[in-house]
Amino acid sequence: MAFADDIALYAYGYWSHERHPFRINSICLNTIQRKTPCTACTDTCPQDIVLHSGKANWTGCINCNLCVTACPTAAINQSATSFEGIRNLVLEGSAPVSFACERAQESCDVPCVCLATVPWDLCAAAALSSGVVLKAEACKSCPHEEMVAEVKELIQTLRRFLGKEGFAKGVFMHDQPDKMRSSGVDKRMAAKRVANSVAAGAETALEGVKNPTMSCYRALLLEVLENLHDEGTPAEVTWPTLIEDGNCHACEICTKMCPHKALELHVPGYTDLPNDDDEDVNGQPFDEAVRADTIDGRPHFEGQVLAHNASKCTQCGLCYVSCPNENLGGWDEIKTTESPAYQAFPINVKLCEKCGHPFMPKAPEDTKCRVCNRPTLGYRPGS
C-alpha cells in the first residue's frame, strides 16, 4: 500500500466518534515510562479532569482542546466529530481554512476556545493545501498572557516549518486574501484518491486501531505533503531533527523508548532490512551512511546508521533523557521535500560473535559485547 494510503487510514481509522478528545495510549509517555509521570494534560484542564493516568473519565469535558496541544507526544487528539469536518476542508482546497477564538466574534470555519488550542501540524496542513487564516486580532487585548505567548509560538513554528516564502503564501493573519493563490494541484482529485484509498484499506485500518504511531494532525500533514509530491508540486519544509555526537553504542534504548518509532537502528547483518552488498560488519571498513532507496516502503541505508524520522517526531525528549551514554541531545533542522524526512547519523559498531547484537568495542580486537564478555564465576550445574 502506498505511503499516502497508510496516512489516510489514520484519518478515519482509530478514534471514537464522541464529542470530546481521546487519548492514544500507545504513544502516551505514561504508557512507555512511569518513572517520571507526565501530567501536562491534567494540569491544563480547566475542568480538573484527571487525564494522565488510567482510563480517562471525560465527564464534564467542555471540548476546549487545551489538553490536545499540551501533550508533548500528541497522544491526545480532538474528537472525530470535530476533526472530520476540518480534514475535509483542508483536502478540498477550495478556500483557506479560518480559525478564530470566541473573543474574536468573527465568522470562521473552525471556532475554538483559543488559537493556542490549534495544533501547528493542522495549521501547516491547511497552509500547504488551501491556506490558513488565523484571526489573531483579539490576541492584542487578551488578558491571558500565557495563551497569547502560545499563539505567538504557534506562528513562529509555522514560520520555521514553512519557510519565509511558504509562510507568506499559505498563512494569512486576520483576513482571507481577496485573490486566491493557485497551487497547480487538483485538490478534488486528490481528495477522491484519498477516499478511494480509505475504502480499499478498511481492513488495514482496523489493524491500525491497536497501536497508532502518530496523531491525526501529523497524519493529515503528511497526507497533504504526499499529495503535493504525487502531483509534481512538492513543498520544501523544515523539520526539527536530533543532534547525535557520533558516539552511539547501538544499545537500542532510544529506539524502544520513542513513542512514535521515529528512531531506527540500521546495521547490516543485524537489521532485517535486506542489503545485498553487506554480509557482515565485523572487520569491514566503516562507510559513511548514505540514504539509498526504499525497500517494501521502508527506508534503506548503506552502512551503519541511527536514522531519525523527523516527520514523525514531536520533540518530546524521551530519547535523549533515556540515552545511557548521553550522546543524543539538542535539535538541528533538515530542509527537504521528501516525506518521510530522514536524517541519518553514521555509527561505528561491531556485531557480537556470540549473541549477534551490535556493540561499541573498547579495543579493535574486541569481538564480544560487554554482556557476553562478562567473566563467569566458574559455576557449573551439579557442582
DSSP letter, residue 192: H
Q: For 319-325, what is the mean pLDDT?
A: 88
Q: What is the mean pLDDT of the chain?
A: 79
> How many Å apart are CA 151 and CA 139, to the nearest integer?
8
- Which of 299, 311, 307 is closest to 255 using CA atoms? 307
Phi then psi for 328, rounded to 5 degrees?
A: -110, 140
Cβ contact 1:9 at 8 Å? no
The second-level CATH assignment, the architecture, of 237-359 is 2-Layer Sandwich (3.30)
State CA 346 to chain mean position distance. Answer: 22
For cell 537500542, name the residue: 252
> How many Å apart are CA 237 and CA 234, to the nearest integer?
9
- Which of 291, 274, 225, 234 is closest to 3 using CA atoms? 225
DSSP letter, residue 376: P
Question: Residue 235: is its pLDDT beyond 80?
Answer: yes
Question: Residue 343: is its pLDDT beyond 80?
Answer: yes
> How many Å apart are CA 44 and CA 39, to the nearest integer?
9
What is residue 298's predicted lDDT score, i.e. its pLDDT?
A: 56
- Which of 205, 290, 209 is closest to 24 using CA atoms? 209
Residue ranges per structural domain of the chain = 3-17+79-229, 237-359
Higher-pLDDT residue of 322, 380: 322
Pairing of strands 97-101, 110-112: parallel
pTM above 0.85, yes or no: no
